[in-house]
């Protein structure tokens, strides 16, 4: 974060206004100094999600309990005059294993369905974690490594077919728009670019408070955000969406203004901050996987002590670490409406 530099009049002199120093130049100098000194408070919020030039190969250490996109297939090229129906798909997270259990808590997974009028074939497109949610949210503390090790990637999955029962039984399968084959093909090219450059998953939305208009520090990057980005792209390409209510799950953390701490090298490297490195690893230790019942209960107490009592949270975002001074109500899961976009709405970013 930018900090004010030393302002020692003994170095370089030139503090008094001489004959050739116009008042407007002093005004500009003072404005520059004020900007430099106010660097931390003028940081861009929310912090922009970092995109990459390519998707790296996953580390062999990272193993998924459930194979990512097992029936995936390339996105087909549609005939330009085809009429493609677009469906909103939503179901409880891990519905295949727990049924509607998480649906009662409104913890939902989002996807998009397509149906070709010419061929009668339908397709599902979704974006989710390569190594399950826990690996994307918290790191592994490997004894042979000084820094926390992250198995965090998310990606798009496209496959033929829509499992009607999976989406309808405890969720949603509803027509939201109709597009041409040409529009579908343009969207497919955008999905490829989006998928190659947006490579990691982010669970949390971090805000200053639950009140409307509160400052957002960090945005999540998950299945619902992929759906929303795709809807916006389709609207930009001319799609007209139906007027129906669309709600999405969001998981919030609430904190005061975050403090930037550094990246893996600056914190955990040979010349890093050993005290800070230890504090970060201690914070993440209770979140480790494969705990016994006794260890799990103890971990819950440790997490409560860190986040609620001491009001501390260490966030890993854009492959950098941030400190969050937590505030009441600390964490909240919401299921809130985000309207479908209007036609030709400008898409920001990709």
pLDDT value, residue 16: 31
Contact 71, 159 (CB under 8 A): yes
What mean pLDDT comes out for the span 30-49? 60
The label of the residue with tokens 């998950």 reads 222
Per the structure block, which two tokens stand in for 110? 């989002």
Q: Let me know the angle formed at the C-alpha of 282 by 278 and 288, rounded to the nearest 5 degrees.
A: 130
Residue pLDDT, tens place only, 53-97: 989 899 999 998 889 999 999 999 999 999 999 999 999 998 877
Give CA–CA dist 196/350, Å, rounded.
Answer: 11
For residue range 269-316, list pLDDT tens digits in order: 999 999 999 999 999 999 987 778 888 889 999 999 999 999 999 999
Q: Write the pLDDT tens digit of every residue in 132-176.
A: 898 999 999 999 999 999 999 999 999 999 999 889 888 999 999
Q: Which residues contact 341 (CB under 8 A, 6 or more apart)?
A: 231, 232, 234, 235, 241
Mean pLDDT of 174-195: 98
Is 290 an active-site residue? no
Q: What is the mean pLDDT of the chain?
A: 87
At residue 187, φ and ψ (nearest 5 deg) are -60, -40
Check if the beta carbon of residue 75 is closer than 8 Å to that of residue 245: no
Task: Find how far residue 82's CA is from the centre of its chain.
Answer: 34
Give the closest residue to 216 by CA, choosing from 253, 259, 247. Answer: 253
- Using an 8 Å Cβ cutoff, are 172 and 162 in contact? no
**Residue 109 is among the residues annotated as catalytic for this protein:** yes
**Catalytic-labelled residue, pool 62, 69, 109, 310:** 109
- Angle in degrees, CA 107, 111, 115, rounded to 5: 145
Q: Which of 332, 268, 282, 291 is nearest to 312 (CA)?
A: 282
Q: What is the pLDDT of residues 85-131, one digit of tens each?
A: 999 999 999 887 778 888 888 899 999 999 999 999 999 999 999 99
Catalytic member of 140, 151, 223, 290: 223
């Amino acid at each position: 974060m930018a900090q004010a530099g030393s302002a020692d009049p003994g170095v370089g002199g030139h503090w008094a206004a001489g004959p050739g120093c116009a008042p407007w130049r002093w005004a500009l100098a003072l404005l520059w100094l004020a900007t430099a000194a106010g660097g931390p408070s003028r940081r861009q919020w929310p912090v922009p999600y970092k995109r990459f030039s390519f998707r790296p190969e996953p580390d062999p250490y990272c193993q998924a309990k459930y194979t990512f996109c097992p029936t995936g297939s390339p996105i087909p090229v549609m005939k330009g005059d085809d009429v493609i129906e677009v469906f909103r798909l939503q179901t409880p997270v891990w519905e295949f294993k727990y049924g509607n259990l998480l649906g009662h808590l409104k913890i939902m997974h989002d996807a998009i369905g397509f149906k070709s009028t010419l061929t009668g074939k339908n397709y599902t497109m979704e974006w989710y974690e390569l190594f399950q949610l826990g690996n994307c949210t918290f790191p592994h503390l490997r004894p042979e490594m000084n820094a926390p090790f992250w198995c965090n990637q998310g990606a798009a999955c496209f496959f033929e077919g829509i499992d009607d029962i999976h989406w309808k039984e405890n969720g949603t399968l509803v027509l939201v728009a109709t597009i041409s084959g040409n529009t579908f093909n343009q969207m497919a090219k955008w999905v490829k670019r989006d998928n190659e450059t947006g490579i990691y998953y982010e669970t949390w939305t971090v805000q200053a408070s639950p009140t409307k208009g509160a400052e957002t520090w960090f945005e999540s990057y998950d299945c619902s955000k992929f759906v929303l980005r795709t809807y916006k792209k389709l609207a930009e390409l001319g799609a007209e969406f139906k007027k129906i209510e669309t709600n999405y799950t969001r998981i919030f953390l609430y904190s005061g203004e975050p403090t930037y701490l550094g990246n893996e090298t600056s914190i955990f490297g040979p010349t890093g901050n050993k005290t800070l490195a230890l504090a970060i690893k201690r914070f993440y230790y209770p979140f480790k996987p494969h705990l016994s019942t006794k260890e799990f209960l103890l971990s819950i107490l440790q997490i409560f002590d860190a986040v609620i009592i001491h009001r501390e949270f260490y966030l890993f975002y854009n492959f950098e670490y941030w400190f969050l001074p937590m505030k009441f109500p600390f964490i909240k899961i919401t299921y809130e409406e985000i309207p479908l976009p209007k036609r030709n709405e400008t898409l920001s970013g990709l």
